[in-house]
Amino acid sequence: MRRRLAAVVATTVTGIVAFAGPAVAAPADKPQVLSSWTQTGAASYNAWSAARSAQGSWAAYGFDWSTDYCSSSPDNPFGFPFQNACARHDFGYRNYKAAGSFSTNKPRLDDAFYNDLKRVCSAYSGVKKTSCDSTAWTYYQAVKAFGTSPAVDGSASV
């Protein structure tokens, strides 16, 4: 009887373990996710872009996805599509301000913005690329210098 009971228990436990499958890791905490989406590399940009397309999946984190894109500057100057780079920059600014750690992260956010703009410009060649790179540099210098002013950080009433 003991052997039979042991066999039934072993089979049941094995079945439960097999059914449950591997444990799913809990999502990273909000600061880690925010940091991963605001780095300078293309992988960070792509991860943020995918998350932006599925914002509902991240609702529990309470991220601020609002954007005014490139604020008072054109979103697509001279036809260069800078709008999404501006949206990610807004995302970083708004969420790090809400977290109370904006000033320590601002230089990286601005550098990530510039890298995003340069990736846009990499699609061009010749004079058009030179023009795009120059425009990207101008946008980068503007956020470095004025990125905490209401007109640039989106806190101005328009």
**Could you say which of 51, 71, 88, 89 is catalytic?**
89
Contact 158, 98 (CB under 8 A): no
Per residue, what are the HEC states of 99-157?
A: HCCHHHHHHHHHHHHHHHHHHHHCCCCHHHHHHHHHHHHHHHHHHHHHCCCHHHHCCCC
Cα distances (Å, whole numbers) of residue 35 to 68, 90, 119, 141: 21, 14, 20, 22
Q: Is 56 a catalytic residue?
A: no
Active site positions, annotated:
89
